[in-house]
Amino acid sequence: MKINVNEQGHLTIGGCDALELAQNYETPLVVYDVAQIRQQLRSYQEAFKQQQISAVVSYASKAFCAKAIYQVVQQEGAHVDVVSAGELATALAAGFDPQNISYHGNNKSLAELDFAIAQQVGVLVVDNFYELTLLQSLLHYKYPRQTIQVMLRITPGISAHTHEYDQTGQIDSKFGFDVNSGQAEKALQQVLQNPQLDLIGIHAHIGSQIMAVAGFELLVAKLCQLAHAWQQKYHFETKILNLGGGFGIRYTDSDEPLTAQQFVEAIVQTLRKEWVNSDSELPQVWIEPGRAIVGNAGVSLYTIGSKKTIPHVRTFLTVDGGMGDNIRPALYQAQYEAVLARAPLAAAEQTVTVAGRYCESGDVLISQQALPATQPGDILAVLATGAYGYSMASNYNRIGRPAVVFAEEGQGQIVVAREEIVDLMHLDQDYVKENE
């Protein structure tokens, strides 16, 4: 993992001293290195440019959603994906251009579809027949003069995860129209018959934390075959192939992710090969990285508290956060690495289990972590927590969610305030029993 230190040997994030950030903003604290977010967005954009193909990089904002990230993504000229009215409203409040927003989800409500149409969201990614029905009646009755751009989310029958892919498994998915059983084609017919629906592309998403190109190559081939079949049978020419996200990142030193360039090269080469006999124009390629944009840019700072050594078993080192701000280790045994912020490069003297403060035995952030000697009050930095950490945070145990800081060129700025105790009671109402 890439560790930056300053003259005092302290960990720095976005040019800011991690100890100073912890002191100024308290812990637990999520800090993003903004330059790294920009760098990741640009690496995908530039990889497509190098391949001389028209492409759109759309940040999947469920990985980390806050006004500030939408603003950074917009500054970099990328699009965003949203999956709820809440994410959409946040993007709009941030000033994000609605034309560059794609709206996903397998159970969008009527109210959400209405909101998306009213706000002139760029693309609705239609997932199922129920949604199609809602959309068609909404357009017919409430927006009779409006045409909206849609993509069809299909289930390609390929799923990919880390190094493996599976060519049949993903049929069993709650997302999208299944291709093999003919549902996708039926959806296509329905969309083509409605003049208010402008079908601009085909979408699929095959998994996450993918560490190999094979799944994407299969996906591109599958989508191209589908596009050709639909072109011949329905004269439908897709403008866009949207390949979803899932690009893997390094969480620990044992992870060896591919670069943006490697993924993009494989995707574009497969596309050109599959398209060679087609007389229609090469479609634009869209991708939707979430984790790959924000994962490595985020660091969680915690204050170390109690330490419990069970002889011959293990030493628990407890921090002031845990599963409430990062559920991933408890939820799916996600692996992380941590460093001591005052001496991230110092030699290890102990191996500890980093435990959280929440009332669950499963609230362990890192099962085995080598660290230098530690004192209560030391700041522990858990690395690569930028994706699906804060965005999955909860108020379990009535503990507020951490503050989020964006750090860039040595300047730190709060972009999400710490959730205080008053905030936690904001929605509570007294219960008053009638007739007493």
Active-site residue list: 359
**Residue 360 assigned ligand-binding role:** yes
For residues 81 and 217, which CB has a smaller minimum distance to ligand PLP in the complex? 81
Beta strand segments in 118-236, E: 123-126, 148-155, 159-162, 164-166, 177-178, 197-203, 207-210
Is residue 292 close enough to count as binding ligand PLP by CB under 6 A?
yes
Is residue 290 close enough to count as binding ligand PLP by CB under 6 A?
yes
Cβ 282 to ligand PLP shortest distance, Å: 22
Rounded distance, CA 43 to CA 258, Å?
12
**Residue 332 assigned ligand-binding role:** yes
Is residue 215 close enough to count as binding ligand PLP by CB under 6 A?
no
DSSP annotation string for 190-224? HHHH-TTEEEEEEE---EEEE--SHHHHHHHHHHH
Give residues with Cβ within 8 angstroms of 40, minimum separation 6.
Answer: 260, 289, 292, 293, 294, 296, 297
Site string for ligand PLP, 117-156 (x = CB under 6 A): ----------------------------------------
Instruction: Give the chain's largest Cα–Cα span.
Output: 81
Rounded distance, CA 23 to CA 210, Å?
37
Among 176, 257, 289, 412, binds ligand PLP (CB under 6 A): 289
Number of chain positions touching ligand PLP (CB under 6 A): 17
Is residue 264 close enough to count as binding ligand PLP by CB under 6 A?
no
Site string for ligand PLP, 47-76 (x = CB under 6 A): -------------x-xx-------------
Cβ 264 to ligand PLP shortest distance, Å: 14
- 219-248 residues in contact with ligand PLP (CB under 6 A) are 244-247
What 3-state class would DSSP assign to 367? strand
**Residue 388 assigned ligand-binding role:** yes
Cβ 88 to ligand PLP shortest distance, Å: 15
Nearest to 81 by CA among 106, 105, 103, 63: 103
Region of 268 (left: φ > 0; alpha: ψ -120 to 50; beta: rest) is alpha
Is residue 159 close enough to count as binding ligand PLP by CB under 6 A?
no
Residue in the block written with tokens 């208010």: 196
Residues that bind ligand PLP (CB under 6 A): 60, 62-63, 81, 104, 205, 208, 244-247, 288-292, 387
